[in-house]
Structure 1
Amino acid sequence: MSNFKNSMIEVFTTNIENEFQAEKIIEILEKNSPHIKIDFDLSETEFPYPCGHTILRVEGTAINNQHIISLVKELGFLCDILEDKLCKSE
């Protein structure tokens, strides 16, 4: 991540599956919120969402969580703030 002064980081879980989808999401989020830095961790697990997920990381001095979630969902993907939770294998 960059070194934004007084920045905060918010982490979201998504069901975005590949680099092409991630790049489109980043493009739209940056257009709507140019003051934030965005990246993805596309490592997935074998569990279903939300335990099997990809990570959307957002850094900036002002992050509007609901706006980000809304934009990602409007594009047809799941998106939630990452919560501390344990996922059990079935």
Structure 2
Amino acid sequence: MREVLVFQTSITNQWRVIQVKPILDNLMHSGEKWNFDLEDCDHILRVEAIRIQAPVIIQSLNRAGFICRELED
């Protein structure tokens, strides 16, 4: 079952997106995808997930030096 995970991040521009692209791509399983909404004040990362868990994404981006926290519904 696919779920949508939504995160607030400190990724504010396309250059930062390019920096985290390899990290996020390596985390994704087949059928999963991600995108950023940099226009949003929370710099939203949206992940369409099948198997990946939110803590894995948060920890990976934090390790890379970015702030990332899951937004609740």
- Which band: TM-score by shorter chain? 0.7 to 0.9
Q: Which one scores higher on RCO, CA 8 angstroms, separation ≥ 6?
A: 2
1-structure distance, mates of 2:53, 2:34: 13
Show the counterpart of 1:87.
none
Aligned 1:78-89 pairs, distance under 5 A: 78-83=67-72
Bigger helix share: 2
The amino acid across from 1:16 in the alignment is I
Contact persistence 1:15–1:78 (CA under 8 A): yes
1:39 and 2:35 are equivalent in the alignment: yes
**For 1:23, which of 18, 43, 66 is the aligned residue?**
18
Larger radius of gyration: 1
Instruction: Give 1:44 deviation, angstroms.
Output: 4.4
- Residue by residue over 1:5-52, the C-alpha shift from the partner in whole angstroms, topping out at 9 and shown as x without a partner, is x3111000001111111122132111133332010000144xxxxxxx
TM-score, normalisation: structure 1: 0.70
1-structure distance, mates of 2:45, 2:29: 16
The amino acid across from 2:57 in the alignment is I
2-structure distance, mates of 1:72, 1:58: 13
Show the counterpart of 1:48.
none
Q: How many residues align?
A: 72
Which segments of 5 or more consecutive residues in structure 1 lack a partner in the other structure? 1-5, 46-52, 85-90
How many percent of aligned residue pairs carry the same amino acid? 35
1-structure distance, mates of 2:20, 2:62: 10
Which segments of 5 or more consecutive residues in structure 2 lack a partner in the other structure? none
Instruction: Give 1:75 deviation, angstroms.
Output: 0.9
